[in-house]
Amino acid sequence: MTPLSLQEFLSREEALAGSDPVLTRLLVGISEACKEISAKVREGALAGVLGLAGSENVQGEEQKKLDIISNDIFVEAVARTGAVCGMVSEEVPEPIAVPEELPLGPYLACFDPLDGSSNIDINVSIGSIFAILPAERPKRVPAPQDFLQPGRNLTAAGYCMYGPQTILALTLGRGVFLFTLDDVTGTFRLTKENVRVPREAKEFAINMSNQRFWEAPVVRYVSELLQGKDGPRGKNYNMRWVAAMVAEVHRILMRGGIFMYPRDSRNPERAGKLRLLYEANPMSMLMENAGGASTNGHERIRDIVPNSIHERVAVFLGAAEEVETVTGYHKA
């Protein structure tokens, strides 16, 4: 039997769990944007999308051509659904309004249109991340304040990974579902239901080159993992680092593990590297819905009330037992 398409899955969710048809329209719009980005990624140099754009984003990071192309695709596709009244993108300093000629809807969308930019030009996995929040009341000009809601308010979250296959991961708060893009028909089809992350882990992911800048609890935790069978954890761990959060989270959803991007002393006033609204929150919602956990070392990420739309946060997410251990070390 042919697996359900994303549209069929969302219609089933409407019938079984009473999810909102407007949300369905929004998620289908996002999946269309991901399809378009996936096609550009596949063409690479042939589509002229590789290399630098010659500009910087709000974080002061150099923008790649594909960052800007993906942002434009996302903004247009999401606005066109008529399901949102504002958007926040990693690539744009202020909230983005829906053009006058388009209708407004009851949701707010936050996204990182192209995560893992440093992998673009070397043909390694990259992705898009998205988070859907309810809007208190639809209005033409969105304010930053509208988006400053804790991640526990999210209605839906997901990512699309542009890897050997294009895979969309989605949660509406009732489990995590994976859809693989059939390139021939252009249809996302349900290929894994109710993904579960094992409580225990055998793998960890962290950029070890920053070790000398870490805080003491992280140094302690990682050194115990590195001691393997001979250390207090009593087992060997393997390490992976793709430098694209989408790929790390996808690996953890498929075979377990823990991902960390702690705060560090390179930039003491910065709470971490990853962005709360469109990286940490949606990935935390996915993790929690797959039975994993997610903290900033001190508290559950989805309980943090943001102060600004591009706020950064330290991230520890994945296998519940590991996240509890490293979080416990921060409290010791």
Tell me the closest approach of the beta carbon of residue 129 to ligand AFP, in angstroms: 8
Q: Does 101 belong to an annotated binding site? A: no
Min dist. Cβ of residue 270 to ligand AFP (A): 12
Residue in 95, 105, 113, 116 binding ligand AFP, rule: CB under 6 A: 116
Residue of 6, 131, 190, 274 that binds ligand AFP (CB under 6 A): 274
Scan residues 128-187 and list those touching ligand AFP (CB under 6 A). none
- Select 66 or 319, whichever has its Cβ closest to ligand AFP: 66
183 is in an annotated binding site: no
Q: How far is the CB of 273 from ligand AFP (least distance, A)?
A: 6
Stretch that binds ligand AFP, among 17-25, 115-123, 223-231, 281-289 (CB under 6 A): 115-123
> Is 118 known to sit in a ligand binding site?
yes
Spatial distance between the Cα atoms of 240 and 60, rounded to a whole number of angstroms: 27
Per CB under 6 A, contacts with ligand AFP among 195-254 are 207, 243-245
Stretch that binds ligand AFP, among 94-102, 116-124, 137-145, 163-171 (CB under 6 A): 116-124
Q: How far is the CB of 332 from ligand AFP (least distance, A)?
A: 26
- In sequence order, the 6+-apart residues with CB closer than 8 A to the CB of 315 are 259, 260, 261, 262, 272, 274, 279, 280, 283, 294, 296, 301
- Burial (Cβ within 10 Å: 0-12, 13-18, ≥19) of residue 109: buried
Q: Is 294 in the site for ligand AFP (CB under 6 A)?
A: no
- Known binding residue 114? Answer is yes
Q: Which is nearer to ligand AFP, 273 or 330 (CB)?
A: 273
Kindly list the residues in this chain that would bind ligand AFP in the complex (CB under 6 A). Answer: 61, 115-118, 207, 243-245, 261, 273-274
